[in-house]
Amino acid sequence: MRAIVVGGGIGGLATARGLGLRGWEVTVLERQPSLEAAGAGLSLWPNALRALDWLGVGGPVRAAGAPITGGGLRTAAGAWLTRVTVAGPIAVHRADLHEILAEGLSVRTGAAVTDARSLDADLIVGADGIGSAVRAAYAPQIRIRDSGQVSWRSVVPASALGDDRDGGETMGPGGLRFGYVPMGPRGVYWYVAAPAPLRTTAPAEQLAELRAAFGDWHEPIPRLLAATDPGALLHHPLLDLHPVAPMRFGARVALVGDAAHAMTPNLGQGACQALEDAVTLAALVPGGRGGGSVEEALREYDGMRRPRVAMVARRSWQVGRVAGARGAVTSAMVRALARLTPASATARGAERVAAWEPPTATPALTRADGRR
Protein backbone atom coordinates (compact mmCIF):
# COMPACT_ATOMS: atom_id res chain seq x y z
CA MET A 1 0.00 0.00 0.00
CA ARG A 2 1.32 3.43 -0.94
CA ALA A 3 0.60 6.75 0.78
CA ILE A 4 1.43 10.35 -0.03
CA VAL A 5 1.60 12.72 2.91
CA VAL A 6 1.43 16.41 1.95
CA GLY A 7 3.38 18.48 4.48
CA GLY A 8 6.43 17.66 6.57
CA GLY A 9 5.41 19.35 9.84
CA ILE A 10 4.81 17.51 13.10
CA GLY A 11 1.50 16.03 11.90
CA GLY A 12 2.84 14.89 8.52
CA LEU A 13 6.06 13.38 9.85
CA ALA A 14 4.22 11.56 12.64
CA THR A 15 1.68 10.20 10.14
CA ALA A 16 4.45 9.02 7.82
CA ARG A 17 6.18 7.28 10.76
CA GLY A 18 2.96 5.62 11.87
CA LEU A 19 2.03 4.40 8.39
CA GLY A 20 5.58 3.12 7.92
CA LEU A 21 5.23 1.08 11.12
CA ARG A 22 2.05 -0.45 9.64
CA GLY A 23 3.94 -1.55 6.53
CA TRP A 24 2.99 1.29 4.17
CA GLU A 25 5.35 2.80 1.63
CA VAL A 26 5.15 6.53 2.33
CA THR A 27 6.38 9.64 0.52
CA VAL A 28 6.22 13.01 2.27
CA LEU A 29 5.95 16.08 0.01
CA GLU A 30 7.18 19.25 1.71
CA ARG A 31 7.12 22.64 0.01
CA GLN A 32 10.04 24.11 1.97
CA PRO A 33 13.51 23.66 0.45
CA SER A 34 14.69 21.89 3.61
CA LEU A 35 13.07 20.21 6.58
CA GLU A 36 14.50 22.50 9.23
CA ALA A 37 11.73 23.49 11.62
CA ALA A 38 11.42 27.09 12.67
CA GLY A 39 9.70 27.67 15.95
CA ALA A 40 10.24 27.89 19.61
CA GLY A 41 9.11 25.55 22.35
CA LEU A 42 6.15 23.24 22.61
CA SER A 43 4.44 21.79 25.61
CA LEU A 44 3.59 18.16 25.03
CA TRP A 45 0.96 16.69 27.32
CA PRO A 46 0.71 12.99 28.25
CA ASN A 47 -1.68 12.33 25.35
CA ALA A 48 1.04 13.47 22.94
CA LEU A 49 3.68 11.46 24.78
CA ARG A 50 1.53 8.33 24.50
CA ALA A 51 1.22 8.99 20.76
CA LEU A 52 5.00 9.39 20.51
CA ASP A 53 5.47 6.14 22.45
CA TRP A 54 3.18 4.40 19.96
CA LEU A 55 5.41 5.76 17.20
CA GLY A 56 8.48 4.40 18.99
CA VAL A 57 10.08 7.81 19.63
CA GLY A 58 8.75 8.73 23.09
CA GLY A 59 12.12 7.99 24.72
CA PRO A 60 14.24 10.28 22.53
CA VAL A 61 11.66 13.08 22.72
CA ARG A 62 11.54 12.91 26.53
CA ALA A 63 15.34 12.91 26.59
CA ALA A 64 15.42 16.04 24.39
CA GLY A 65 12.88 17.89 26.53
CA ALA A 66 12.37 18.79 30.17
CA PRO A 67 9.49 17.86 32.46
CA ILE A 68 7.01 20.63 33.28
CA THR A 69 6.37 20.31 37.01
CA GLY A 70 4.52 23.45 37.92
CA GLY A 71 3.32 26.86 36.94
CA GLY A 72 0.54 29.25 37.71
CA LEU A 73 -0.94 32.62 37.10
CA ARG A 74 0.58 35.86 38.32
CA THR A 75 -0.20 39.54 38.25
CA ALA A 76 2.18 41.89 36.44
CA ALA A 77 3.61 42.81 39.86
CA GLY A 78 4.44 39.16 40.46
CA ALA A 79 1.79 38.12 43.01
CA TRP A 80 0.72 34.53 42.51
CA LEU A 81 -3.02 34.19 41.92
CA THR A 82 -3.00 30.46 41.35
CA ARG A 83 -0.18 27.95 41.55
CA VAL A 84 -0.46 24.51 40.06
CA THR A 85 1.70 21.44 40.16
CA VAL A 86 1.36 19.20 37.16
CA ALA A 87 2.67 15.74 36.43
CA GLY A 88 3.37 14.39 33.01
CA PRO A 89 3.84 17.15 30.41
CA ILE A 90 7.20 18.06 28.97
CA ALA A 91 8.56 21.13 27.20
CA VAL A 92 10.59 20.44 24.08
CA HIS A 93 12.20 22.52 21.37
CA ARG A 94 10.15 22.19 18.20
CA ALA A 95 13.30 21.60 16.13
CA ASP A 96 14.27 18.61 18.31
CA LEU A 97 10.83 17.01 17.97
CA HIS A 98 10.92 17.57 14.24
CA GLU A 99 14.36 16.04 13.84
CA ILE A 100 13.44 12.95 15.87
CA LEU A 101 10.21 12.42 13.89
CA ALA A 102 11.95 12.91 10.52
CA GLU A 103 14.72 10.41 11.09
CA GLY A 104 14.70 7.68 8.44
CA LEU A 105 11.65 9.00 6.53
CA SER A 106 11.49 9.57 2.80
CA VAL A 107 10.80 13.31 2.39
CA ARG A 108 10.82 15.21 -0.92
CA THR A 109 11.55 18.85 -0.13
CA GLY A 110 10.82 21.75 -2.48
CA ALA A 111 7.67 19.84 -3.48
CA ALA A 112 4.73 22.22 -3.11
CA VAL A 113 1.41 20.56 -3.92
CA THR A 114 -0.87 22.86 -5.88
CA ASP A 115 -3.40 20.39 -7.28
CA ALA A 116 -4.25 17.94 -4.52
CA ARG A 117 -6.86 16.18 -6.66
CA SER A 118 -4.16 15.04 -9.09
CA LEU A 119 -2.24 13.06 -6.44
CA ASP A 120 -2.43 9.31 -6.88
CA ALA A 121 -1.90 6.76 -4.10
CA ASP A 122 -3.93 4.33 -1.94
CA LEU A 123 -4.06 7.03 0.74
CA ILE A 124 -3.48 10.78 0.50
CA VAL A 125 -2.99 12.67 3.74
CA GLY A 126 -3.25 16.45 3.88
CA ALA A 127 -0.91 17.49 6.69
CA ASP A 128 -0.19 20.85 5.14
CA GLY A 129 -1.12 23.17 7.97
CA ILE A 130 -3.71 25.89 8.41
CA GLY A 131 -3.51 27.06 4.77
CA SER A 132 -3.88 23.46 3.51
CA ALA A 133 -4.03 23.00 -0.27
CA VAL A 134 -5.57 19.56 0.29
CA ARG A 135 -8.37 21.02 2.42
CA ALA A 136 -8.92 23.81 -0.11
CA ALA A 137 -9.41 21.19 -2.85
CA TYR A 138 -11.98 19.17 -0.88
CA ALA A 139 -13.56 21.55 1.65
CA PRO A 140 -13.18 25.11 0.34
CA GLN A 141 -16.03 26.24 2.61
CA ILE A 142 -13.92 25.93 5.79
CA ARG A 143 -12.80 29.37 6.93
CA ILE A 144 -9.83 30.62 8.91
CA ARG A 145 -11.02 32.63 11.93
CA ASP A 146 -8.97 35.46 13.41
CA SER A 147 -9.00 35.63 17.23
CA GLY A 148 -8.05 39.32 17.20
CA GLN A 149 -4.91 38.42 19.13
CA VAL A 150 -1.30 38.09 18.01
CA SER A 151 1.67 36.28 19.52
CA TRP A 152 5.41 36.68 19.84
CA ARG A 153 7.65 33.74 20.79
CA SER A 154 11.31 33.04 21.24
CA VAL A 155 13.84 30.86 23.05
CA VAL A 156 16.59 32.32 25.22
CA PRO A 157 19.43 30.73 27.22
CA ALA A 158 18.45 29.17 30.56
CA SER A 159 20.72 31.64 32.40
CA ALA A 160 18.13 34.40 31.78
CA LEU A 161 15.72 32.57 34.08
CA GLY A 162 17.57 33.17 37.34
CA ASP A 163 16.24 31.05 40.23
CA ASP A 164 12.81 30.45 38.72
CA ARG A 165 12.43 26.79 37.75
CA ASP A 166 8.69 26.47 37.20
CA GLY A 167 7.57 28.95 34.58
CA GLY A 168 4.01 30.21 34.41
CA GLU A 169 1.81 32.83 32.87
CA THR A 170 1.26 36.47 33.83
CA MET A 171 -1.81 38.51 32.92
CA GLY A 172 -1.71 42.27 32.81
CA PRO A 173 -3.96 45.09 31.71
CA GLY A 174 -4.97 45.60 28.10
CA GLY A 175 -5.27 41.90 27.31
CA LEU A 176 -1.51 41.33 27.56
CA ARG A 177 -0.19 37.92 28.61
CA PHE A 178 3.36 36.70 29.04
CA GLY A 179 4.24 33.04 29.58
CA TYR A 180 7.51 31.17 29.88
CA VAL A 181 8.42 27.50 30.06
CA PRO A 182 11.89 26.19 30.99
CA MET A 183 13.17 23.52 28.54
CA GLY A 184 16.22 22.34 30.50
CA PRO A 185 19.54 22.78 28.70
CA ARG A 186 17.70 23.93 25.54
CA GLY A 187 16.86 27.20 27.28
CA VAL A 188 13.59 28.92 28.10
CA TYR A 189 10.67 29.26 25.74
CA TRP A 190 8.63 32.45 26.22
CA TYR A 191 5.49 33.74 24.53
CA VAL A 192 3.38 36.87 24.49
CA ALA A 193 -0.29 37.09 23.57
CA ALA A 194 -1.57 40.58 22.84
CA PRO A 195 -4.41 42.30 21.01
CA ALA A 196 -4.01 42.67 17.21
CA PRO A 197 -2.84 44.17 14.90
CA LEU A 198 0.01 42.12 13.54
CA ARG A 199 3.09 44.37 13.49
CA THR A 200 4.87 44.99 10.22
CA THR A 201 7.87 46.77 11.74
CA ALA A 202 11.35 45.20 11.85
CA PRO A 203 11.89 42.52 14.56
CA ALA A 204 14.28 44.82 16.48
CA GLU A 205 11.55 47.47 16.70
CA GLN A 206 8.99 44.89 17.78
CA LEU A 207 11.34 43.68 20.48
CA ALA A 208 11.85 47.26 21.66
CA GLU A 209 8.07 47.62 21.84
CA LEU A 210 7.79 44.44 23.93
CA ARG A 211 10.62 45.49 26.25
CA ALA A 212 8.81 48.79 26.85
CA ALA A 213 5.39 47.17 27.34
CA PHE A 214 6.70 44.57 29.81
CA GLY A 215 9.51 46.64 31.34
CA ASP A 216 7.82 47.02 34.72
CA TRP A 217 6.42 43.47 34.92
CA HIS A 218 7.92 41.05 37.44
CA GLU A 219 11.18 39.23 36.79
CA PRO A 220 12.21 37.18 34.93
CA ILE A 221 10.03 38.78 32.22
CA PRO A 222 12.23 41.85 31.52
CA ARG A 223 15.33 39.60 31.75
CA LEU A 224 13.91 37.11 29.23
CA LEU A 225 13.12 39.94 26.80
CA ALA A 226 16.54 41.50 27.34
CA ALA A 227 18.17 38.15 26.45
CA THR A 228 16.14 37.78 23.24
CA ASP A 229 17.82 38.03 19.85
CA PRO A 230 15.59 39.97 17.41
CA GLY A 231 16.61 37.49 14.70
CA ALA A 232 14.96 34.72 16.73
CA LEU A 233 11.68 36.55 17.34
CA LEU A 234 8.57 34.88 15.87
CA HIS A 235 5.41 36.91 15.36
CA HIS A 236 2.07 35.48 14.21
CA PRO A 237 -1.66 36.15 14.34
CA LEU A 238 -3.61 33.68 16.52
CA LEU A 239 -6.04 31.91 14.21
CA ASP A 240 -8.17 28.81 14.14
CA LEU A 241 -10.44 26.95 11.73
CA HIS A 242 -14.11 27.29 12.41
CA PRO A 243 -15.77 24.89 12.18
CA VAL A 244 -13.09 22.20 12.12
CA ALA A 245 -12.93 20.50 8.73
CA PRO A 246 -14.15 17.01 7.88
CA MET A 247 -11.15 14.73 8.37
CA ARG A 248 -11.79 12.40 5.44
CA PHE A 249 -12.98 12.86 1.88
CA GLY A 250 -14.15 9.88 -0.18
CA ALA A 251 -12.29 6.59 -0.09
CA ARG A 252 -8.68 7.72 0.20
CA VAL A 253 -8.15 11.30 1.40
CA ALA A 254 -7.63 12.28 5.05
CA LEU A 255 -6.58 15.45 6.88
CA VAL A 256 -4.40 15.55 10.00
CA GLY A 257 -3.27 18.35 12.28
CA ASP A 258 -3.72 22.05 11.59
CA ALA A 259 -4.99 21.31 8.05
CA ALA A 260 -8.18 20.02 9.69
CA HIS A 261 -8.32 21.81 13.02
CA ALA A 262 -5.81 24.60 13.54
CA MET A 263 -6.60 25.91 17.01
CA THR A 264 -5.52 28.84 19.14
CA PRO A 265 -2.59 27.85 21.39
CA ASN A 266 -4.29 28.57 24.72
CA LEU A 267 -4.40 24.92 25.79
CA GLY A 268 -1.02 24.00 24.26
CA GLN A 269 -2.72 21.20 22.34
CA GLY A 270 -2.36 21.88 18.59
CA ALA A 271 0.67 19.66 18.01
CA CYS A 272 -0.58 17.18 20.63
CA GLN A 273 -3.80 16.74 18.64
CA ALA A 274 -1.85 16.40 15.39
CA LEU A 275 0.09 13.54 17.03
CA GLU A 276 -3.16 11.91 18.19
CA ASP A 277 -4.52 12.19 14.62
CA ALA A 278 -1.39 10.60 13.17
CA VAL A 279 -1.48 7.63 15.52
CA THR A 280 -5.24 7.12 15.18
CA LEU A 281 -5.04 7.15 11.39
CA ALA A 282 -2.04 4.82 11.30
CA ALA A 283 -3.68 2.46 13.81
CA LEU A 284 -6.94 2.23 11.86
CA VAL A 285 -5.76 1.79 8.27
CA PRO A 286 -5.29 -1.73 6.98
CA GLY A 287 -1.68 -2.76 7.20
CA GLY A 288 0.76 -5.57 7.57
CA ARG A 289 -1.53 -8.53 8.01
CA GLY A 290 -4.41 -6.71 6.27
CA GLY A 291 -7.98 -6.19 7.52
CA GLY A 292 -10.72 -3.81 6.32
CA SER A 293 -10.58 -1.18 3.60
CA VAL A 294 -8.97 2.24 3.60
CA GLU A 295 -12.41 3.78 3.14
CA GLU A 296 -13.82 2.09 6.26
CA ALA A 297 -10.75 3.11 8.21
CA LEU A 298 -11.14 6.73 7.13
CA ARG A 299 -14.80 6.80 8.18
CA GLU A 300 -13.83 5.48 11.61
CA TYR A 301 -10.95 7.96 11.80
CA ASP A 302 -13.24 10.92 11.09
CA GLY A 303 -15.81 9.64 13.59
CA MET A 304 -13.21 9.26 16.33
CA ARG A 305 -11.27 12.44 15.74
CA ARG A 306 -13.63 15.20 14.62
CA PRO A 307 -15.76 15.55 17.78
CA ARG A 308 -12.67 15.44 19.96
CA VAL A 309 -10.63 18.04 18.07
CA ALA A 310 -13.70 20.29 17.82
CA MET A 311 -14.06 20.14 21.62
CA VAL A 312 -10.36 20.93 22.21
CA ALA A 313 -10.41 23.80 19.68
CA ARG A 314 -13.56 25.24 21.26
CA ARG A 315 -12.11 25.15 24.78
CA SER A 316 -8.90 26.71 23.58
CA TRP A 317 -10.82 29.53 21.89
CA GLN A 318 -12.86 30.14 25.08
CA VAL A 319 -9.74 30.35 27.26
CA GLY A 320 -8.31 32.90 24.82
CA ARG A 321 -11.50 34.98 24.98
CA VAL A 322 -11.41 35.21 28.78
CA ALA A 323 -7.68 35.62 29.16
CA GLY A 324 -7.31 38.12 26.32
CA ALA A 325 -10.12 40.39 27.49
CA ARG A 326 -9.08 43.99 27.02
CA GLY A 327 -9.69 46.93 29.29
CA ALA A 328 -8.38 47.79 32.69
CA VAL A 329 -8.51 44.54 34.56
CA THR A 330 -8.28 45.33 38.26
CA SER A 331 -6.46 42.88 40.46
CA ALA A 332 -9.75 42.00 42.16
CA MET A 333 -11.23 41.11 38.80
CA VAL A 334 -8.14 39.14 37.92
CA ARG A 335 -8.50 37.19 41.16
CA ALA A 336 -12.12 36.50 40.36
CA LEU A 337 -11.14 35.39 36.89
CA ALA A 338 -8.18 33.34 38.03
CA ARG A 339 -10.13 30.12 38.14
CA LEU A 340 -10.99 30.61 34.45
CA THR A 341 -7.72 31.90 33.11
CA PRO A 342 -4.92 30.15 31.27
CA ALA A 343 -2.55 28.86 33.91
CA SER A 344 -5.19 27.06 35.93
CA ALA A 345 -7.57 26.52 33.02
CA THR A 346 -4.73 25.27 30.87
CA ALA A 347 -3.71 22.81 33.55
CA ARG A 348 -7.25 21.65 34.29
CA GLY A 349 -8.46 21.63 30.69
CA ALA A 350 -5.33 20.07 29.29
CA GLU A 351 -5.17 17.42 31.99
CA ARG A 352 -8.67 16.29 31.09
CA VAL A 353 -7.76 16.32 27.41
CA ALA A 354 -4.48 14.55 28.18
CA ALA A 355 -6.27 11.36 29.26
CA TRP A 356 -6.34 10.12 25.62
CA GLU A 357 -4.98 6.66 24.80
CA PRO A 358 -4.04 5.32 21.34
CA PRO A 359 -6.77 3.09 19.86
CA THR A 360 -4.48 0.04 19.50
CA ALA A 361 -1.27 -1.28 21.01
CA THR A 362 1.85 0.09 19.42
CA PRO A 363 3.34 -1.69 16.44
CA ALA A 364 6.64 -0.02 17.38
CA LEU A 365 7.15 -2.66 20.05
CA THR A 366 6.35 -5.57 17.79
CA ARG A 367 9.55 -7.47 17.09
CA ALA A 368 10.44 -8.97 13.76
CA ASP A 369 9.17 -12.34 15.00
CA GLY A 370 5.77 -10.76 15.74
CA ARG A 371 6.08 -11.02 19.55
CA ARG A 372 5.65 -8.04 21.88
Ligand X SMILES: Cc1cc2nc3c(=O)[nH]c(=O)nc-3n(C[C@H](O)[C@H](O)[C@H](O)COP(=O)(O)OP(=O)(O)OC[C@H]3O[C@@H](n4cnc5c(N)ncnc54)[C@H](O)[C@@H]3O)c2cc1C
Task: Give the interface with ligand X as residue ranges (CB under 6 A).
Answer: 6-12, 29-32, 42-43, 112-113, 127-129, 133, 151, 153, 191, 236, 257-259, 265, 268-272, 274
Q: Residue 256's closest CA among 313, 315, 306?
A: 306
For residue 287, give the DSSP letter. Answer: B
Kindly give, in sequence order, each residue whose CB lies less than 8 Å from that of residue 311, ignoring residues fewer than 6 positions away.
none
* Cα–Cα dist 312/351, whole Å: 12
Selecting among 138, 180, 189, 301, the annotated active-site residue is 180
Terminal CA-to-CA distance of the chain, rounded, Å? 24
Q: Which is nearer to ligand X, 5 or 161 (CB)?
A: 5
Q: Which one-letter amino acid corresponds to residue 77? A: A
In angstroms, what CA-CA distances link 307 with 250, 263, 354, 359? Answer: 19, 14, 15, 16
Q: Which one-letter amino acid corresponds to residue 277? A: D
What is the edge-to-edge ordering of all strands in the sheet holding 248-249? Answer: 107-108, 25-29, 2-6, 123-126, 253-255, 248-249
SS (H, E, C) 159-205: HHHCCCCCCEEEECHHHCEEEEEECHHHCEEEEEEEECCCCCCCHHH
The 10 Å CB-count burial string (b at 16+, else e) for 219-234 is ebbbbbbebbeeeebe
Confirm whether 138 is a catalytic residue: no
The strand ranges marked E within the chain are 2-6, 25-29, 41-44, 66-67, 70-75, 80-85, 90-93, 107-108, 123-126, 143-156, 168-171, 177-182, 188-195, 234-242, 248-249, 253-255
* Cα–Cα dist 139/132, whole Å: 10
* Cα–Cα dist 336/71, whole Å: 19
Q: Which is nearer to ligand X, 82 or 154 (CB)?
A: 154
Cβ 372 vs Cβ 354: under 8 Å: no
Closest approach, Cβ 291 to ligand X, in A, equals 27
Closest approach, Cβ 65 to ligand X, in A, equals 11
Cβ 71 vs Cβ 343: under 8 Å: yes
E strand or H helix that includes residue 142:
none
Residues catalogued as catalytic: 180
